[in-house]
Amino acid sequence: MFRIWHGWVCIAREAIAKSGLDEVVGRAKILQGKHGIALSNIVADEDGVGGGVVDFLRCKGFINNSAPLPVKEGNAWIKPNFDSLKSQCSIKMAEMIATRQAGEWCRDDTVLQTTTEELEQVKLKDIDRDGRQGIIPKERVKDLIGRSPDEWDSIMMRYWFALRKTYVTRVRVG
């Protein structure tokens, strides 16, 4: 799944059927050129087949179960209270969408329905505990909706850029 973002608005989405690594990398390079996207503005799921995409594209990798990234509060960087990077990005991106600070241009009713169904599954697990915040596991989501939440995975990774200490938004005009 590919998503092209302009700030916090997804302006293009492209699904690719189960494909070999060479096809995925080739399509990513075409989209990169078409939209003028710098490698520093590309992130790919590094778990599973995505690790090969990261290697071949030399882009940034997103590791779902890695530690959450620190956030700046005032002049200090603090460790947030999430159980993983995926939970951190999922919860924060869901908040952005719920408050209408992020969204997607989409006219395909099937994609809208699928994406909405997946977003509805972003729920806190162990909500009564005082421990770190986490979301229900992907395997549980698969059981609930009968498929992998691929749409949501490609949306929540957008928040990773907001967490990077050195990230600067670059938008090509024209």
Domain boundaries in the chain? 2-163
CA 22 to chain centre: 22
Biggest alpha carbon distance in the chain? 50
Q: How many CA atoms lie within 13 A of 130 on its CB side?
A: 0
| Joined tokens for residue 103 | 């969204």
Q: Point out the residues of the chain with pLDDT beneath 50.
A: none
pLDDT on residue 147: 93
pLDDT on residue 127: 65
Name the pTM for this structure. Answer: 0.87
